[in-house]
Structure 1
């Protein structure tokens, strides 16, 4: 993981600000949902994306009746 060297303080409500430059590069916009994950002794923050309703994959998802379905599960459903 590439480190940017930007340090931010936690406020009294537990919030931090993601710098504008990072939000721009990562395609994060006002109102986007963010996901926080604990990995070992680190906190990973990433833009939230819904996974496939069947397998949880975030790869190549398409919308079907407003639900995310990956291409592999979509093909499997066609066979049944």
Structure 2
């Protein structure tokens, strides 16, 4: 993992600040969703991109029974 050189303290509500330079670089705007992952090295924050729960495809998405799936799986599940 690459260090950014930024160090912030977690506040009493568990929040941290994402520096404006990083928000601009990754095009993270006010009230956008951020996804949180955990790996062996620590916590990873990533701009949320809705994707198919089966294949991670990010295009041609539909909500099917409350879940996001791509058109390919809509056809399969309709059989």
In structure 2, what is the Cα distance between the partners aligned to 1:26 and 1:3? Answer: 15
CA RMSD in angstroms comes to 2.8
In structure 2, what is the Cα distance between the partners aligned to 1:24 and 1:39? Answer: 25
Structure 1: tracts of 5 or more residues without a match: none
TM-score (norm 2): 0.71
Q: Structure 1 segments of 4 or more deviating over 4 A?
A: none
Structure 2: tracts of 5 or more residues without a match: none
TM-score (norm 1): 0.70
In structure 2, what is the Cα distance between the partners aligned to 1:49 and 1:15? Answer: 22
* Matched pairs, number: 74
In structure 1, what is the Cα distance between the partners aligned to 2:43 and 2:51? Answer: 20
